[in-house]
Structures are given as C-alpha cells and as structure tokens.
Structure 1
Amino acid sequence: MTDKVLVFYGSYRSDRMGIRLADFVVERLEKRGLDVEFIDAKAVNLPMLDRMYKEYKPGTAPEALEALAEKIKSADAFVFVVGEYNWGVQPGLKNLTDHFLEEWFWRPAAIASYSAGRLSGVRSATAWHGTLSEMGMIVVSSTLSVGPIGQTLGPNGEPLGNAGDALEKAFPRFADDLAWWTEAAKTQRQKKPPPY
C-alpha cells in the first residue's frame, strides 16, 4: 500500500519564494511513488486559534478544520516546508498546526527549511523540531536546508547551479530517512495500539 504524505507550507506573503521548495519536495516524493498532498496554510486559511479541533463537539467543527483533521489522521507521514521569520517560525503554519494535537501522534515528520539568506532557515528548523516533537510526531534527523532560495530553485522548483545540485544530492537521504520511519511507525501501529 502506498504511503500517504502530507507536505505543509506556511507562508502568507504575496511573493512567496518558499513555494519553490514545497514544489520540489512534492515532485520528488511523487517520483518515488508516494501519495503526496500539498497543504498550503494560506489556502486553508484557518482563523487565529480560538478552539482546537478536539474542543469542538463531533460534527460541529468548521468545514475546513474537519477536512484537514481527516487528512492528517489518514496520513502516514508529514513534511513541513518552513521559512524563517526573524529567527523564528512562520505564524501561518504555526497557527495551522496548533489547531490539532492527537491527530499528529505516532507518525514521522521531516523538516525542509529555507530563507533568502545563506543560513537557509536552520534556526526555524530548530524551533520546529521541538514543536513537532511536543505535538507527538517523530522528527527524523535528516533535514533539507535551502538558501538563498532564489539561487537554489527556479520559479517551478527546478534546481539551479551548484546549490541546486547540492539539494538534489541531499534529497535521497532526506526521503529515505522519512520512508524508514514511516514504515517503522506503520508496522508498530499494526502490531500494538499506541499507549495513548
């Protein structure tokens, strides 16, 4: 059975450069035969967190929240494509993830970071690692870090120059690490129900 992977992206800016990395990740995972769905926080457009999904009585959550909860619960793994805002995380993506908790549990997550500068969003990736772990995901050790994004990927996510070549070389390990943990988590869930 094909693994279902959700790729999350969170920039709300009008000139979004990180979408290039999201496109790259989606296309490369699809080439590996995975069932990949792109989740754009801006398109989902959840309101600022008032109530988490679990705080609604069954059948009363807003439609967008209910639909996304079902996608998260049915996924085998997640990839978070994260930008860095002033050494921190993007508020749009953080707001989206905070609407859920148990829905994330017992599945692996991988982080692909980017920035316009040479540090490639690694400070944001570091912050996301702790956040995703706290939300019950197994965060894989392999990451992708892309920067400057405009010199690494073209408008359609195509690798550019030496930086693009380095990204192409790094991607297989990133995807293999996520695949290993996806299989491990699926196997364990089939053998034994999660403890909570």
Structure 2
Amino acid sequence: MSNRVLVFYGSYRFDRMGIRLAHFVVDGFRARGDDVELIDAKAVGLPILERMYKEHPKGGAPDVLEKLAGQIRGADGFVFVTGEYNWGMQPGLKNLTDHFLEEWFWRPAAIASYSAGRFSGARAALAWHGTLSEMGMVVISSTIAVGPIAQTLSEDGKATGEGGKALERAFPRFADDLAWWMEAARAQRERKKPPY
C-alpha cells in the first residue's frame, strides 16, 4: 500500500529557489511509489488568517479551505519544505498551516530546509519542529537541509555537484523514517480511535 504524502512549500518571493527542493522531494517520494502531491501556499493563496477552518459553520468554509482540509485529512504524512527568513520561518507557509488544527492530528511530519547560504535553513527547521509538534504532528528526527541551494539543485529540482550528491545520499533515510511513521500511525488509527 502506498503512502499519501503532502509536500508543503510556502515561499511567495519573486525568485523562489526553494521550489527546487520541493520538486526534488516530490520526485523522490514518487519514485518510491508513494502518492505524493505538492501544496504550494502561493498557488493556494489563502488570505492572512482571520478565521480558522473550524471556525466556519459546518459546510460553510470557502471552497479552497474545504478542499485543503480534505487533502490534509486524507494524507498519511507531510513534508514541510521551508526556507529561512531572518532566522525564522516563511510567513506564507505558516499562514497556510495556521488555518487548520485538528486536521493535522495523529500524522507524522518531516522537515526539509534550505537557504542560499551554508546554514541550510537550520534555524527555520528548528522553529518548525516545535510548531508542528504543537499542532498535533509527530515530527520525525531525520531531516534534509540544503545550502547553498543554487549549487545543490538545478532549476528543475535535480541534484547537482557535491551538495547534490550528499542530498541524494541523505534522502533515503529521510524517506524511510517518514514512511515508518506513516505506516505506524495509519495502523494505529485503524486499530484504535484517537483519544481526542
């Protein structure tokens, strides 16, 4: 049985380098036989959070929220592809995630970070770890971090140079870790209803 994986990406900048990593991750999971979809926060285009999905009357949320809520509930796990903005997380991706809460519960999440420099988005990844845990996800310990991204991935998300080779070596463990937790969480949800 293949896993249903949603890959979230959140940059709104004009020259989006991180989309390279998002495509690399999507291609990597797809090559493993997983059912994977890229959710691009900019393409989804949610407004700045005013009212969460659950705060709308049942069946009364905007169509874009209804669709995304269903996609999240139907997923086995998530990958958050995050850049680092001034030691923090991208506001577009954070805004998208904050529109939901219970929909995230009881599923694993993985973090793939990047930056133009040598720190590879590590500070953003650290910030996301606590946020995703607070939102009811189990955050796996394996991560991938890419930097400098322009020398590691081509425009179409293919690994290049020594950095690309290192990324290709790191990806299987990252994917195996997430797959183990997706399978474990799915089996547990089938066996026993979550406590809340």
TM-score (norm 2): 0.99
Compute the displacement of 1:3 (Å): 1.1
User: Which 4+ stretches in 1 moved above 4 angstroms?
Assistant: none
Which residue of the partner structure matches residue 18 of structure 2? 18
Q: Name the amino acid aligned to 1:173.
A: R
Q: Name the amino acid aligned to 2:160.
A: L
Q: Name the amino acid aligned to 1:48.
A: I
Q: Name the amino acid aligned to 1:147.
A: G
Identity of aligned residues (%): 72
| Cα distance between partner residues in 2 of 1:71 and 1:4 | 10
**Where in structure 2 are there 5+ consecutive unaligned residues?**
none
3-state DSSP of counterpart to 1:25:
helix
Which residue of the partner structure matches residue 71 of structure 1? 71
3-state DSSP of counterpart to 1:51:
coil
| Cα distance between partner residues in 1 of 2:66 and 2:12 | 22
Structural mapping, 1:66-145, within 5 Å: 66-145=66-145
| Cα distance between partner residues in 2 of 1:115 and 1:153 | 12
| Cα distance between partner residues in 2 of 1:187 and 1:58 | 29
Q: Name the amino acid aligned to 1:169.
A: R
Tell me the number of residue pairs that the alignment of Structure 1 and Structure 2 aligns: 196
| Cα distance between partner residues in 1 of 2:108 and 2:122 | 19
| Cα distance between partner residues in 1 of 2:33 and 2:78 | 15
| Cα distance between partner residues in 2 of 1:123 and 1:129 | 10
**CA RMSD, aligned part only?**
0.5
**Where in structure 1 are there 5+ consecutive unaligned residues?**
none
Deviates more, 1:124-133 or 1:1-10: 1-10
